[in-house]
């Protein structure tokens, strides 16, 4: 029994390799973007795609690959996904232009969509004892959250010593270890009786998201155009078609009927909005620290460490917190702490704000950690037991889409403010600062316009979280059930 238990925990460590990579890859570029912009000179639209095409690929394909893994084997899909992740990382590291980098980032996102659901299913097979399984899933969630939190720090450390491609090459040794050890320590997992994956639904959701966001980003960065408006409308039409199609499928990718429950809806929004806030604030703050305040990349990375520590600790402590104060109060604390943390970024300026940034990450980190731990349980508890799998899949997808949407939408809002308030010499702060012979007054104007865009984005997100905290107090019952980690994914 002891040998079997040791094998299970070693297997967990192996599973955490791809899980950690998927989460860290969603945030490692936040501090690397100024360096990538200098090397590849992407447009404002391309820079946003470099950052968030990964998250869109993961979010739009997560549910589909979960069903494919059930049908053809989770471990097999996990191995294929890890290999493709390595190929995509290597290609991104040596990309000669923005277009190639976007393609390889999309490829790593596609691979990432195979890894998360399969990893959790294989983990559940390793731990048959419910108590041990709950502990393992808690470690799984904490590792995933820690990856998001320390991604910018890892990126900063690498960039201090190596070129920008190092933030992708760091994935390769981890992938190699996983591919060697996984066949030895992990077992194949299949589910029986699964329905066929609707390929058209996968295409509609992915194309609809990409077209709609492209229209929004292009309009914000460069102003309205026929192409941008057409892309936005086409994306909206495809998403409506996707939603209507799900109603007639026996095995829909997204069961929209679950959203009739207000508690479930609040849980899913809680999965999406905190990740949107975290990714947008981390991305824009990274630019502020480097391009506005002029900090070296490592010095810009270190202020994120206290917030990352708080986020990880809260992931582990949240079950005990919910046992003590209830789910309703925990969700309220989640949203109000994020709202307060984001509001602190309004104190940043052109000449300072590092201390306010640290305080922001610490205060908001409390809420981010709660959201990582409590969302899936709240969503699953709100629906009948036979629909728990569908609820859990939607909860996972909301996290990934939130990460991508935060950068896409709030990055577009910041770009719009910069375009309207800036010196109108280039569409981004980085491009403006690289103009030859630029006057010092123009530099100050450009930095002030960027800070205004940062403030606009965090103000919107802060107000949204304050509103969700209020809804949590109004919609959730006073006596919420204690958090019990779910074994399904």
Residues 6+ apart with CB under 8 A from 391: 258, 264, 379, 380, 382, 383
How many degrees, rounded to 5, is the angle at CA 44 between CA 42 and CA 46?
Answer: 55
| Tokens (6 digits) for 339 | 């709202």
How many degrees, rounded to 5, is the angle at CA 267 between CA 73 and CA 85?
Answer: 35
Specify the pLDDT at position 483. 39
What does the pLDDT look like over 416-448, one tens digit per residue?
899 889 888 877 787 788 888 888 889 999 999
Task: Give the pLDDT of the chain (489 residues) as one tens digit per residue.
Answer: 566 667 777 888 888 888 788 778 767 777 788 888 888 888 877 887 887 788 778 767 776 776 677 667 778 888 898 999 999 999 999 999 999 999 999 999 888 888 766 776 677 677 767 667 666 766 776 777 677 767 777 887 888 888 889 989 988 998 998 899 888 877 776 555 455 677 888 888 878 887 888 788 778 767 788 888 898 899 999 999 998 998 888 778 777 888 888 888 888 888 889 988 988 898 899 889 988 998 887 788 788 889 888 888 887 788 788 888 888 888 899 999 999 999 999 999 999 999 999 999 999 999 988 887 777 667 766 766 556 556 666 777 777 678 777 887 888 899 889 988 988 887 778 778 888 888 888 999 999 999 999 999 999 999 999 999 998 888 877 654 443 333 333
What does the pLDDT look like over 102-111, one tens digit per residue?
999 999 988 8
Specify the pLDDT at position 323. 82
Which pairs with CB-CB distance under 8 Å and at least 24 residues apart come from 256-265? 258/383, 258/387, 258/390, 258/391, 258/394, 261/382, 261/383, 262/475, 263/378, 263/382, 263/475, 263/476, 264/378, 264/379, 264/382, 264/383, 264/391
Say how many CA atoms lie within 13 Å of 68 toward its Cβ: 17
Determine the Cα–Cα distance for residues 486 and 376; give it in Å rounded to an integer: 8
Determine the Cα–Cα distance for residues 380 and 392; give it in Å rounded to an integer: 6
Determine the Cα–Cα distance for residues 113 and 202; give it in Å rounded to an integer: 12
Specify the pLDDT at position 386. 56
Residues 6+ apart with CB under 8 A from 386: none
Specify the pLDDT at position 456. 96
Determine the Cα–Cα distance for residues 307 and 400; give it in Å rounded to an integer: 20
| Tokens (6 digits) for 473 | 């107090």
Distances in whole angstroms, Cα of residue 263 to Cα of each of 228, 372, 399, 457, 462: 36, 17, 17, 27, 21
**Closest to 19 in 3D by CA, of 285, 321, 372:** 372
Q: Are 109 and 52 in contact (CB under 8 A)?
A: no
**Closest to 28 in 3D by CA, of 134, 146, 122, 195:** 146
Determine the Cα–Cα distance for residues 95 and 110; give it in Å rounded to an integer: 18
Angular region, 97: left φ>0, alpha ψ -120 to 50, beta rest: beta
Say how many CA atoms lie within 13 Å of 181 toward its Cβ: 17
How many degrees, rounded to 5, is the angle at CA 401 between CA 94 and CA 199?
Answer: 85
- SS3 for the chain is CHHHHHHHHHHHHHHHHHHHHHHHHCCCCCCCHHHHHHHHCCCHHHHHHHHHHHHHHHHHHHHHHHHHHHHHCHHHHHHHHHHHHHHHHHHHHCCCCHHHHHHHHHHHHHHHHHHHHHHHHHHHHHCCCHHHHHHHHHHHHHHHHHHHHHHHHHHHHHHHHCCCCHHHHCHHHHHHHHHHHHHHHCCCCCCCCCCCCCHHHHHHHHHHHHHHHHHHHHHHHHCCCHHHHHHHHHHHHHHHHHHHHHHCCCCCCCCHHHHHCHHHHHHHHHHHHHHHHHHHHHHHHHHHHHHHCCCCHHHHHHHHHHHHHHHHHHHHHHHHHHHHHCHHHHHHHHHHHHHHHHHHHHHCCCCCCHHHHHHHHHHHHHHHHHHHHHHHHHHHHCCCHHHHHHHHHHHHHHHHHHHHHHHHHHHHHHHHHHHHHCCCCCCCHHHHHCCCCCCHHHHHHHHHHHHHHHHHHHHHHHHHHHHHHHHHHHHCCCCCCCCCCCCCC
Specify the pLDDT at position 487. 35
Question: CA dihedral in degrees (370, 59, 262, 251; nearest 10)?
Answer: -130
Specify the pLDDT at position 393. 66
Specify the pLDDT at position 345. 96
């Amino acid at each position: 029994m002891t040998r079997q238990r040791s094998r299970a925990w070693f297997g967990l460590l192996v599973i955490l390799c791809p899980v950690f990579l998927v989460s860290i890859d969603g945030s490692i570029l936040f501090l690397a973007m100024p360096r990538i912009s200098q090397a590849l000179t992407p447009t404002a639209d391309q820079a946003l795609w470099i950052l968030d095409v990964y998250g869109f690929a993961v979010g739009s394909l997560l549910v589909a690959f979960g069903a494919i893994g059930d049908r053809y084997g989770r471990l097999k899909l996990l191995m294929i996904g890890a290999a493709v992740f390595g190929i995509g990382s290597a290609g991104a590291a040596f990309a000669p232009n923005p277009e190639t980098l976007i393609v390889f980032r999309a490829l790593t996102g596609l691979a990432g969509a195979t890894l998360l659901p399969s990893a959790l299913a294989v983990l559940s097979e390793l731990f048959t004892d419910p108590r041990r399984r709950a502990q393992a899933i808690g470690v799984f969630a904490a590792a995933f959250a820690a990856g998001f939190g320390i991604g910018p720090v890892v990126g900063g450390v690498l960039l201090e010593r190596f070129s920008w491609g190092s933030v992708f090459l760091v994935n390769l040794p981890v992938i190699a270890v996983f591919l060697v050890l996984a066949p030895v320590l992990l077992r194949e997992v299949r589910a029986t009786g699964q329905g066929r994956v609707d390929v058209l639904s996968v295409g509609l959701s992915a194309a609809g998201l990409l077209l709609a966001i492209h229209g929004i980003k292009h309009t914000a960065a460069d102003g309205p155009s026929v192409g941008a408006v057409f892309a936005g409308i086409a994306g909206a039409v495809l998403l409506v078609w996707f939603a209507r199609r799900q109603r007639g499928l026996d095995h829909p990718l997204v069961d929209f009927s679950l959203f009739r429950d207000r508690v479930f809806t609040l849980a899913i929004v809680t999965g999406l909005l905190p990740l949107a806030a975290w990714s947008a604030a981390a991305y824009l703050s990274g630019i502020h620290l480097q391009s506005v305040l002029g900090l070296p990349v490592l010095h810009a990375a270190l202020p994120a460490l206290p917030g990352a520590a708080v986020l990880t600790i809260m992931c582990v402590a949240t079950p005990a917190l919910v046992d003590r104060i209830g789910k309703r109060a925990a969700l309220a604390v989640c949203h109000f702490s994020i709202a307060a943390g984001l509001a602190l970024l309004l104190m940043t300026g052109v000449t300072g704000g590092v201390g306010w940034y640290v305080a922001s990450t610490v205060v908001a980190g409390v809420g981010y950690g709660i959201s990582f731990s409590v969302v899936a349980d709240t969503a699953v508890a709100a629906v009948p037991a036979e629909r728990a799998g569908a609820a859990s899949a939607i909860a996972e997808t909301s996290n990934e889409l939130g990460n991508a949407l935060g950068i896409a939408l709030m990055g577009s809002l910041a770009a719009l403010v910069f375009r309207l308030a800036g010196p109108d010499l280039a569409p981004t702060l980085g491009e403006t600062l690289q103009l030859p012979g630029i006057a010092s007054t123009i530099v100050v104007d450009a930095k002030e316009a960027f800070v205004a865009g940062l403030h606009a984005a965090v103000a919107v997100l802060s107000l949204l979280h304050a509103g969700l905290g209020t809804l949590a107090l109004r919609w959730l019952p006073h006596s919420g059930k204690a958090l019990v980690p779910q074994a399904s994914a």
